[in-house]
Amino acid sequence: MVESNAGLVGTITYRDKGNPHLWTGYELREPAVYVSRLIVSRQHASQGIGAALIDWAGMRARDTWAAHWIRVDVWTTNLALHEYYKGQGFEHLRTLEFEHYWDYPSAALFQKPTSAVDMTRAAWFEQEEVS
């Protein structure tokens, strides 16, 4: 989470395991960071905070477990969100089809290499140790 004196600014979740219903066995064997729940307060929209959080997660994963990829599954019908990730350097890999849309509506898959992380942007955030 990113906070300012005014309160919560944004958040991102990242992990080293992807959903086996979305990613292929080959993809799951590649070192990657899977990001989700990227949220930025509307007060702070258009300041690059979302992009910086993505780069921060990519940098942490590259440094911690040698991740080669930053991956995300995006709401299938949210084309504006698809364009956002493309604008952040992500490549659209594929959109999965499920028998029923609601089985898994977040099935548009994107990735970008961790080598494309903007280190200046990734360093915007200090990590506070939680005990």
| Residue 131: inside a domain | no
Q: Give residue 11's Cα distance to chain centre.
A: 11
User: Does residue 10 surpass a pLDDT of 80?
Assistant: no
What pTM did the predictor assign? 0.86
CATH number of domain containing 56: 3.40.630.30
Domain count, the chain: 1
| Residue 84: inside a domain | yes
* Amino acid identity for residue 96 in this structure: L
The mean pLDDT value for 55-69 works out to 95
The mean pLDDT value for 81-94 works out to 96
Residue ranges of E strands in the chain: 2-4, 7-15, 32-40, 69-74, 91-95, 108-113
Q: Which residue has the higher pLDDT, 76 or 121?
A: 76
User: Does residue 16 surpass a pLDDT of 80?
Assistant: yes
| Residue 124: inside a domain | no
pLDDT at 46 (0 to 100): 73
